[in-house]
Structure 1
Amino acid sequence: MLTKISVIVPVLNEEECLPELLNSLQRFSGIEIIISDGGSSDRSLEICSRHPVKMATGSAGRGMQLNRGAQLATAPILLFLHADSQLETIVVEQVLEAIEKGYHWGCATMDFDERTPFYRVLAFFSNLRARCWKSCYGDQAIWCRKDIFLNTGGFPDIPLMEDLALSHHLRSKYPSQVVSGRVTSSARRFRAGGLWATLIKMQVLKMLYLLGANPKRLADYYQQWWRVSL
């Protein structure tokens, strides 16, 4: 079977999410699954060994992990998927159609695994941002032609906001499309940290990054906040 899309998943201690994700991806046709592990200490590697996936291993850092996964990819199109997300099968077909129409990168339409008004509104504005400002986040299943991704250097080697940096670089040079197929993202960060507190802190981090703050300092703040939230 011709491999059309390489799905790359960064992993760090995701034993709770991986069984559902890998079982769902095996229903897709024309894809290869690449797991890029950042040094998991739980059962993540054991779980992956039971499935037909390629493995990349190395130091932690989502951007670096995704870049390592991209180096193993054999398909002409890359799709980056978080371990706690679920992807509609139609997304693969829609991405291929978008490529044929001349679009070089983009993302899927995002939902959350909780459907309360808060999450519906949040998903609406996330999708609006991606469509109007060409700014896609990692939990929106970013996809890109492999040659373009590699030629632009992939994700920058920064500990936070690597997805925002990549999309801002691509949008200045290449046409993008948000396909209508859905990626369902986990709301676990909001459940752990509180709805409004998490939203506000994420927006503050984004604004500080756009104003030129050091991504390393922002990552330290993020990790400190995440430990407090847990």
Structure 2
Amino acid sequence: MRIAHLSDIHFGGENVEAVAAVREWLATDRLDLVVVSGDLTRFGEKGEFASAAAWLRQLPEPQLVTPGNHDAPYLAWYDRLFTPFARYERAIGRARFQTHLAPGLAVYGLNTARGVQPRANWSKGQISRRQVEEALAWFAAAPAESLKIVVCHHPLTEMIGGPMTGKVWNGEAAAKAFAEAGVDLVLSGHIHAPFTWPYGYGDGKTYAAGCGTLSVRERGVPPSFNLVETDVAEIRVTALAWSGSKFEPQQTWSLTRR
């Protein structure tokens, strides 16, 4: 099974060459799913969403796309306060949650971004107990043998030594609940750097995997996306970095499946 994981394209500030090249790369490969884990836009402007939607239409199907904190309008304050993801939903699709079910694969996307929240930095993440419960109920109804993947924008636990933080309220509790329920993988973006690590809960075989950016907002890491490949024994995550002319493997992690 092969899944392309992209994130943080930030249309309005995208790396134009990398965005075009990844479209061509995806078109020539056999993929079971394309995942985009948020921040399709820079400021949540209508023109940025139009560019993001046009780009998504050129990518292979099926797709699962979830919003990020940059997908709430930055300058349109009324919209940000009262309908933070209305623009996203008009251009891209459902913001609250998304699902994909196929033979051997169950994927649930949820929104960890908020338009406003009771702290100074609104870019950080939140995940509610209700969101976790709804995701787990959906997974419980999926075939037991499925590879179970959660997609969200913010990493639920912090990347050690990462270029920035997610500070997800209720993130640790959510990670623990997903691990104890047997979720295999949690895909995220936000920090603009690829990584993997096991959650320290359950049997230790629930993994976080973060994706880099395809924007010019580099944080010491070149633009990249991840290729996730699975078989019965392992999950392999390869970060493919943009060299300026092509995507090349930067690092591969091999994660043992339960």
Say which structure is richer in strand.
Answer: 2
Say which structure is richer in helix.
Answer: 1
Q: Mark yes or no: TM-score above 0.5.
A: no
TM-score, normalised via structure 1 length: 0.32
TM-score, normalised via structure 2 length: 0.29
